[in-house]
Chains A and B, each alone.
Chain A
Amino acid sequence: MSLLAYLIRRVFITVPLLLLVTLLGFVITYLIPADPLAMVLSERAMANPQIVQAYRERWGLDKPPHERYLTYVGNLIRGDLGESIVTQQSVSADIARYFPATVELAIAATLIAVALGVPLGVIAAVKRETLADHLARVASLIGVCVPVFWLGLLALSLFYYRLQWMPGPGRMNPRMVPPPVVTGLLTVDSLLAGRGDAFANALHHLMLPAMVLGAYSMSLITRIVRSAMIEVLQQDYIRTARAKGLIERVVVMRHALRNAALPAVTAIGLAFGNLMAGAVMTETVFAWPGIGRYAVESAAKLDFAPIMGVTLLVAVIYIGINFAVDVSYALLNPRVRLS
């Protein structure tokens, strides 16, 4: 099967999958025995039939559920994610507003996790059963176990409040004028605007939350790299490499790590998706205006369109990753057939 045909087929499978996601989301939201209007209208307004009627009409809540669902899907097919009752903005505008902050945080967290996790794992494996190994293992165990909001508060009060090495909550000093929005990633926008001061400030603000958010992934990577390295280091080709007289650094970095890094890379990819979802707590502690807080607040207010918008976004990210993985398998390994 050609790549194009496969791609078309996959899209045809993906569409009903996404529709199923929306149907599930709709049914769950609908089954909750509460009125979304009560979450936004005051007691007084709820007691005024005219205002309630105007709201029902405005948000289509006066229609029977199946009709509301069909309208939603109809709009969705035209690329319209609907409007949020709470923010009174289109969901696509809301997502465009909040998502970049989360992406920036997640990228930074992943970079930190990789930059620290891989060397830690390598050292732990090479110096197996030494103090360095034990320390790395304890550190990674803590990273996996400690809840992120607690770690966030701890980090904030140590590095911001006590030591004063790090700036406070938020993406940038409130007194600083931010660069014009282009990508929504403050560090990138600062560079695009040629604003060195803003870039430094945004990067400085990014470090602490990124470390906190990345702690879990980092620990996971450390553990996976360590166990993979230990396995690889016992292989015949490592013994061969050593036997032909290569120095240990080359054996470890070139022969062992390359092979051992593969499972870690799989984990990194999936961890990136998890970071998106796990950012809620970090975003709350660090006053980070990201998609996690938007999702939670929409859910608390039973705001259907944004709940679905964020769900679809996450679904598309995962489906996209899976899809790209499948395609690249076939592209790079002739033995794998797309079917």
Chain B
Amino acid sequence: MKTTNRNTLFIGLTVAMGLTLAACAQPTAPAPSAPAQPAATEAPMPAMPTTAPAEAKVLVVGLPKADTRTLDPHRQYEITPPQIMRAVYETLVTLPDKGATIDRVEPLLAESYTISDDALVYTFKLRSDVKFASGNPMTAEDVVFSFKRMGALQDNPSWLYSDHVASIEAPDASTVKITLKEPNAAFLSMLVSPNFAVVDSKVVKGQGGTDADDAKDADKATDWLDNNSAGTGPYMIKEWKRGEQVVIERNPNYWRGAAPFDRIIFREIPDDAARQQALERGDIDIAVGLDVDAIKRLEGNSNLQVITGNTLDMTYLALTMNAELSQPLADKRVRQAIKLAIDYDGIINGLLGGTALHLPTIIPLGLLGTDPALAPKRDVAQAKALLKEAGYENGFELTMVYPGERKMSNVILADTLVAKLQEDLAEVGITLKVEPRDASTWRADYRAGKLTATIADWTPDFLDPHGWAPAFAVEGASAAKRVYYVNKEAEKLALAAAQITDSAKRAEMYRKVQEIMLDDAAFIGLIQPKVQIVASAKLKDVIYNPVYFLDYYFMSQ
């Protein structure tokens, strides 16, 4: 009896497994690879090259877990896409010196530009020799279509257009005139963003794209743009296998001359150790996102090179100014004491092996009006004196809620950083009670202004202090409201600095904003990480920049 039952179970399981497998083997939806590619399915299979021809130049980039949601340049706003976007799409202006200079811009698809004295009207004269990968010439029509589409989609980057632009027009085929809603000297730097990619309007319209006001519902081009491209860049998107890789191929019509690689493959290898091994074995040519220790070990390897650059990312400590949340923190002297109690050197040199900068408050170093000398130094005696003055001679208990397993600015585990802060604050008598949380609930509470003290990240939206100052200094603004930051003087300066075009004056105003915010000590800058990329020593001109990450146009072998 028992034996028979086991027998039937065996057969039953075999049948079930067979059925399951049969079901799995039939994808329920069409596979996403290369839709609408004419002749892709008709191409005789045996004729397909099985491996790259011996002379084909292929570059393989190993990425950590990719966060790509879309490859539509007017919708993407994640960390991974910009380097891919940059290789296939271009913008009116770009960063000088192959991307190494970040405090000014130079023309790319534009031949020249003028800005009205009131920083309200931007006029671009376009180059006449630019062709899209399709062969179509680039005209002012394409620029107008692209920018309007980006704004009308009401997607992640749309605010770049809709918050700023009042009107955009093409007076003739090679001129684009943009009028802003209000004066904004930072607008030019926003145009460097890959979201302001100029797309081939004929091709994108042909795929269901639109720049009309109802584009958020009417535009149908994203599915196509996820697997193809319509840009002026040196490469074209060949395929995107989600969770696996993106393949781009050389654009034969590239206006600055053909690019050096036949194909570039962006392969996702989520595990750091596996990615490092793949690099050392030569299976990939560039490894992104390796940790500090791994890079130290690779530094002696003569087959590899380590590229270092400064990001504009930052991790900061946020202290509430709301007395209902914390009586002690509402006192400026207590916040200042915390600022002076932190061992910044220990964080940067001890925990991060020197791979970060110490940003003073909330504007990353390298931008207009920043100065490393503004950064606070540790002073335990002074911190204790301030606490005594505020009546907390015997210390107090402070609760810190933070995203436990998150890698802050992609370089340091939140748990590690908080443990260090806990240790530093203990020295001045402050007991830090730590509460690690899941990132999603932590973020919701922080955004809602419910947290007393926390650590958080901020990533750049564009390369001007205007991307930081108002968000942190203006009452009720997205970052300021989380700690109930109010300082009318800082607010006035942060807003006024964007309305004038004189760089020297602007720099001075942003410096003043930082000084005020340092004194208020509601936002305390902790780290601005450097990025380290390890690449095969054979590659030339691997240059990091904080907007596109890597610009594959310059890279060669």
A residues contacting B by CB (< 8 A) are 32-35, 38-48, 50-51, 54-55, 58, 86-90, 92-100, 103, 107, 153, 156-157, 160-161, 164, 167-171, 173-177, 180-181, 183-185, 188, 193-195, 197-198, 259, 261-263, 265-266, 268-269, 272, 284-287, 289, 293-294, 297, 300-302, 317, 320-321, 323-329, 331-333, 335-336
Q: Which 7 A-B pairs have CB atoms at the shortest separation, nearest pair first?
A: A328-B12, A262-B6, A269-B13, A96-B27, A324-B16, A54-B154, A289-B243
Given contacts A45-B157, A103-B24, A294-B243, contact A262 B273 (CB under 8 A): no
- A-B residue pairs in contact (CB < 8 Å), sample of 27: A33-B445, A34-B438, A34-B440, A38-B443, A43-B479, A45-B155, A50-B154, A51-B159, A88-B70, A93-B32, A96-B27, A157-B273, A157-B277, A168-B277, A169-B275, A175-B52, A176-B50, A181-B33, A265-B6, A289-B241, A321-B20, A323-B16, A324-B12, A324-B13, A325-B16, A329-B12, A335-B1
A268 B50 Cβ-Cβ under 8 A: no
Instruction: Note all chain B residues with C-beta closer than 8 A to A42.
Output: 77, 156-157, 461
Residues of A within 8 A of B8 (CB): 325, 328-329, 331-333, 336
How far, in angstroms, from A173 to B271 measured CA to CA in the complex? Answer: 17
Given contacts A32-B440, A324-B16, A332-B8, contact A198 B50 (CB under 8 A): yes
A89-B32, A329-B12, A333-B5 are known contacts. Are A44 and B284 too (CB-CB below 8 A)? no
Report chain A residues within 8 Å CB of B269: 169-170, 287
Kindly identify, within residues 1 to 58 of chain B, every residue whose CB is under 8 Å from any CB belonging to chain A: 1, 3-17, 19-21, 24-33, 45-46, 48-52, 58
Task: Flag B83-101 by CB within 8 Å of A: 1 or 0 each.
Answer: 0000000000000000000
Beyond A175-B52, A262-B10, A324-B13, whether A181 also contacts B267 by CB under 8 A is: no
Interface string of B257-283 (1 = CB under 8 A from A): 000000001011111011101101101
Q: Is the CB of A97 within 8 A of B242?
A: yes
Given contacts A262-B10, A324-B12, 9 further A-B contacts (CB under 8 A): A43-B471, A50-B158, A54-B154, A107-B21, A168-B278, A170-B244, A177-B50, A266-B9, A332-B11
CB distance from B6 to the nearest CB of A (A): 3
Q: Could you tell me if A46 and B478 are in contact, using CB atoms closer than 8 angstroms?
A: yes
Give the distance to chain A from B216, nearest Cβ to Cβ, in Å. Answer: 5
A329-B9 contact in complex given A42-B77, A45-B159, A168-B274, C-beta closer than 8 Å:
yes
Q: Assess the B69–A86 pair: CB atoms within 8 A.
A: yes
Complex Cα spacing A138 to B241, Å = 41
Can you name the residue of chain B whose Cβ is closest to the Cβ of A39?
B440
Assuming A266-B6, A320-B19, is B25 touching A185 (CB within 8 A)? yes
A282 to B29, CA, bound (A): 26
Interface residue from A98, A168, A188, A333 paired with B4 (Cβ < 8 Å):
A333
Decide if B447 touches A153 in the complex (CB within 8 Å): no
Instruction: State in angstroms the CA–CA spacing of A197 and B46 once bound together.
Output: 13
In whole angstroms, how far apart are the Cα atoms of A172 and B33 in the complex? 16
Whole-angstrom CA separation of A171 from B29 in the bound complex: 21
A50, A184, A198, A329: the one within 8 Å of B27 (CB): A184
Say which residue of A34, A96, A317 sits within 8 Å of B443 (CB atoms). A34
The prevalent SS among residues of B at the interface is mixed
Beyond A54-B154, A183-B25, A266-B10, whether A43 also contacts B478 by CB under 8 A is yes
Residues 322-349 of B, flagged 1 when their CB comes within 8 A of A and 0 if not, give 0000000000000000000000000000
| Closest Cβ–Cβ distance, residue A28 to chain B (whole Å) | 13
Closest chain B residue to A190, Cβ basis: B50
- Given A168-B283, A175-B51, A175-B58, are A156 and B16 neighbors across the interface (CB < 8 Å)? no
Whether the pair B444, A35 counts as a contact (CB closer than 8 A) is: yes
B286 within 8 A of A: no
Contact of A259 among B3, B162, B280 (CB under 8 A): B3
- The smallest C-beta distance from B288 to any residue of chain A, in angstroms, reads 14
| Contact yes or no, A153 B271, CB < 8 A | yes
Q: Any chain A CB within 8 A of the CB of B484?
A: no
- Smallest CB gap from B446: residue in A: A38
Give the contacts of B123-179 with A (CB-CB under 8 A): 154-159, 162-163
Report the separation of the CA atoms of residues A46 and B447 in the bound assembly, to the nearest whole angstrom: 10
Return the chain A residue nearest B278 by Cβ: A168
Instruction: Return the contact of B274 from the options A34, A94, A98, A286 (Cβ within 8 A).
Output: A286
| Docked-complex contact B277 and A265, CB < 8 angstroms | no
Nearest Cβ on chain A to B3's Cβ, whole angstroms: 7
**B51 lies within 8 A of A170 (CB):** no
Residues of A within 8 A of B216 (CB): 54, 58
Q: List residues of chain B with CB within 8 A of the CB of A167.
A: 283
B245 within 8 A of A: yes
Given contacts A262-B9, A289-B244, contact A269 B271 (CB under 8 A): no
Distance in angstroms between the alpha carbons of A55 and B9 in the assembled complex? 49
Between B6, B10, B46, the greatest number of chain A beta carbons within 10 A of the residue's beta carbon is seen for B10
Cα distance, A181 to B239, chains bound together (Å):
13
Interface hub of A32, A293, A325 (most chain B Cβ within 10 A): A325
Minimum CB–CB distance for A338 against chain B, Å: 12
- Docked pose: A193 CA to B3 CA in angstroms: 44
Q: Assuming the A-B contacts A174-B245, A326-B12, are A44 and B478 also in contact, with contact meaning beta carbons closer than 8 angstroms in the complex?
A: yes
A325 pairs with B478, CB closer than 8 A: no
* Least Cβ–Cβ distance between A270 and chain B, in angstroms: 8
Complex contacts, B241 vs chain A, CB 8 Å: 289
* Chain A nearest CB, measured from B33 CB (Å): 6
B441 at the interface (CB under 8 A from A): yes
Taking a contact as CB atoms under 8 Å apart, the answer to whether B31 and A96 are in contact is: yes
* Complex interface: chain B residues within 8 A of A156 (CB): 273-274, 277
Q: Is B539 an interface residue (CB 8 A)?
A: no
A92 and B21 contact, CB distance less than 8 A = no
Distance in Å: Cβ of B219 to nearest Cβ of chain A: 12
For residue A331, which residues in chain B have a CB less than 8 angstroms away from its CB? 8
CA distance A284 to B273 in the complex (A): 11
Q: Which of B16, B50, B244 counts the most A-chain CB atoms under 10 A from its CB?
A: B16
| Shortest Cβ distance from B29 into A: residue | A93
Residue from A44, A195, A268 in contact with B461 in the complex, judged by beta carbons closer than 8 Å? A44
Residue of B nearest to A272 (CB): B17
The interface residues of chain B lying within 8 Å CB-to-CB of A262 are: 3, 6-7, 9-10
B478 lies within 8 A of A321 (CB): no
B447 to chain A, nearest CB (A): 7
Q: Give the residues in chain A near B278, CB-CB below 8 Å.
A: 168-169
Query: Is B392 in the interface zone, CB < 8 Å from A?
Result: no
Contact partner, B440, options A93, A272, A302, A317, Cβ 8 Å: A302
Q: Are A92 and B29 in contact (CB under 8 A)?
A: yes
Interface-central residue, A35, A44, A92, A268, by most chain B CB under 10 Å: A44
Smallest distance from the beta carbon of B399 to chain A beta carbons, Å?
17
